[in-house]
Amino acid sequence: MTHKGTRELQELPTSTDAFVWLRLYQVEMDGLIPRADGSRCGGHHADRCCR
């Protein structure tokens, strides 16, 4: 994760289950949520994420 103000990177604890559920959600939503060109992200702030 990157802090919004300082842009400092911070590791976040997570579980294997969280990644499984995230991937299932991504597959389910594929094609339903528009992506910005060249972005791995989507949604409201796609123009400024993943850079």
Query: What's the rounded Cα separation, in Å, for the pair 2 and 41?
Result: 15
Distance CA(51)–CA(42), nearest Å, equals 13
pLDDT reading at 1 higher than 60: yes
Q: Where are the domains of the chain?
A: 1-35
Q: Which tops the pLDDT comparison, 4 or 17?
A: 17
Per DSSP, the three-state class of 47 is: coil
> For 10-44, how does the pLDDT look when each residue is reduced to its tens digit (9 = 90+)?
888 899 999 999 999 989 988 887 766 655 555 55
CA dist 43 and 35 (Å) reads 7
The whole-angstrom separation of Cα 44 and Cα 37 is 14
Amino acid 47: pLDDT: 56
Is the pTM value of this prediction over 0.75? Answer: no
Model confidence at 51: pLDDT above 60: no
Beta partners for 9? Answer: 2
